[in-house]
Structure 1
Amino acid sequence: MIVTPTGTVSVHPVERAIELLRDRYVFPERAEAATATLRQRLADGAYDGLDDSTLAERLTADLLDVCPDAHLWVRVRDERRATARASIRRVEILDGNVGYLDVRRISGSTGGGRAVVGAMELVSRTDALILDLRHNEGGSPDGVVLWSSYFLPAEPTHLNSIHDRVTGRTRQFWSLAWLSGERYLDRPLYVLTSDQTFSGAEDLCLNLKVRGRARLVGETTRGGANLATVLALTPTLEIAVPHAYSINPITGGNWEGTGIEPDLAVPAATAFDVAYAELREREPGAQEPPGH
């Protein structure tokens, strides 16, 4: 507990973090180990006199020592992060009638659906498509369903299941039988990856890879298959607590901590050039690709 200058009693941010982890963290046994570590560090005075930024860094480091989970962190709250970011950075039709989509975030089907529909319409008449997820750090499971549906047949396909510790329920995610626009089928699809491709973007990669629908080119992805909720510790600090995990219906597991290996491993910086060259190698006299 902390007594403020006005006499108000508030919960210490570390105690609040312990409470949230014990109640919500996806793996209860790891939560107990993490909270024991935090309690001992708190008793030892490891968090005394720290400013918000330093406290956030120290808490995150201590948590990851026990729970190596890329969705688990503490940071200083910044309202600017709530500002909507463009989910699709770039749409092009390249020489050779190859489509190119640079997708930076997997937006929810409600908020980002129009952008996905519009982008897929623009590339709908191309002979091949490059989907660039090298800078994509994830997003909404519903958005993953929408993107996946454009590259899979109309018959609904079980894509993923997510088990939530808080509710005790497992929700299944299936591809959509109806889309606003044409599906992109029977044409080459290349997906570019990097070690920063994360979370929902990895879900999309796995959906397409295990069904043989896409060729992944680049680097092994970052490896985050859990779902987290961001909660307040104090008016100026927040914590992301993973509370659910993915279960792929084909592999029976997920990509947490391991990432997804590409079909063709190359440095992320050269992944576009390699993919584009493969798509155009049958064309005599193909021009050099534009810079990406």
Structure 2
Amino acid sequence: MKTISIFLLFISSAYSIYSQNLSANQVREITEKIPILISDRYVFLEKGSEISKQFQINLSPNKYVKYTNPDSLAQVLTKDIREISNDGHLYVSVKKNLSSTEEPLEWEEIERKDEIEKNFGFTKIQILEGNIGYVKIVEFMHPKRSFPTAVAAMKMVEETKALIIDLRNNSGGYPGIMEYILNHYFEGPPEHLHTTYFADEKSTDKTYTSDLIHGKLMINKPLYVLINSKTGSAAEYFAYTLQAFDKAIIVGENSAGAAHMNDFFDLPHDFKISISVAAPINAKTNKNWELTGVIPDYKTESNRALEKTLDLLK
């Protein structure tokens, strides 16, 4: 489940386009393409068609032509599309202006810099009192570059009595490291975890466990995963999967509810729209966490989740 939204963050903040407002005709050209793309590209074709029809109702009275400022137009389009769809992955964005002294950076350069600053996502690894392992992961970063750090982190806590993985404020990332950690809690032949359905409703992709670990299995080690309302995407996948397969106890707040996978499509005049193009369905529950979020086994305020978990371990 690749979190393509990382790319948009970099792209949308990196390039210069508008120094003036849009004309009414430009606004129409932008908005008229939106329902076509949603109808063609949304993961569930029937729902995409319904979203498209509802959005076209908004277009009929020329509702958007007064929003000539690019940022204002993107904001109101996002608000309306999300109200119609109840899908947080549907949104419109516009590229930002740079000052005359700034140089645009490629998203890969920004990503690599971020990985170094965040220790490839593993910002804290501790052995707490009572031989309890604690691993804080702020993002699941590029698997090829992050893999040695992930191996070292899991090796450090493999002799602990129990493990706490803290995914609070982890908005997701790439799947590879998340899947590597999952492998520590499954043994035997590959086990089917999820089936991902794509927009054409004809192709699917099944995800299985593997025996790829460098260290010991942790199948008999109690595992607690901390989440909050800002835990999203691949981090939710991790927590939801472990909970569904009875491998972990989840503590904290309901997560963000961002199960769908998105991609980005060009709109006229350098606008872009994010659309849900795929959806993972868990092999055990036959559903996912879209909108509902991952529901903790023990609900508590985000800032008390670690304290609550340590109490449970006692």
TM-score under structure 1 length normalisation? 0.84
Q: 2:165 aligns with which of 116, 131, 143?
A: 131
**1:34 maps to which residue?**
51
Q: Aligned-pair distance for 1:14?
A: 1.8
Q: 1:69 aligns with which of 84, 87, 102?
A: 87
Identical-residue share of aligned pairs (%): 28
CA distance in 1, matches of 2:106, 2:196: 26
Q: 1:21 aligns with which of 29, 33, 38?
A: 38
Deviations 1:26-69 (A, max 9, x none): 12222223223333333422222432211111111111122111
**1:232 maps to which residue?**
266
Q: Which residue identity does 1:72 align to in structure 2?
A: L
**1:157 maps to which residue?**
191
CA distance in 2, matches of 1:168, 1:140: 24
**1:198 maps to which residue?**
232
SS in 1 for 2:126: strand
Q: What's the C-alpha RMSD, in Å, of the aligned pairs?
A: 2.6
Is the 8 Å Cα contact of residues 154 and 178 (structure 1) preserved in structure 2? no
Moved more, 266-275 or 82-91: 82-91
SS in 1 for 2:53: helix
Moved more, 61-70 or 27-36: 27-36
Q: Aligned-pair distance for 1:75?
A: 2.2
Q: Aligned-pair distance for 1:245?
A: 0.9
Question: How has the CA–CA distance of structure 1 residues 88 and 163 changed in structure 2, closer, same or farther, with 3 Å as cutoff?
Answer: same
Q: 1:188 aligns with which of 206, 222, 228?
A: 222
Is the 8 Å Cα contact of residues 14 and 38 (structure 1) preserved in structure 2? no
Indicate the structure with greater helix content: 2
The unaligned stretches of length 5 or more in structure 1 are: 282-292
Deviations 1:92-148 (A, max 9, x none): 222222221111222353343233222212222222211011111122344432221
CA distance in 2, matches of 1:68, 1:251: 21
Q: Aligned-pair distance for 1:160?
A: 0.9
Q: Aligned-pair distance for 1:167?
A: 7.1
SS in 1 for 2:230: coil
Q: Which residue identity does 1:98 align to in structure 2?
A: I
Asked whether 1:54 is paired with 2:72, we answer yes
Asked whether 1:101 is paired with 2:135, we answer yes
CA distance in 2, matches of 1:204, 1:65: 28
The unaligned stretches of length 5 or more in structure 2 are: 1-21, 97-103
Is the 8 Å Cα contact of residues 257 and 292 (structure 2) preserved in structure 1? yes
CA distance in 1, matches of 2:30, 2:213: 46
Q: Which residue identity does 1:35 align to in structure 2?
A: S
TM-score under structure 2 length normalisation? 0.78
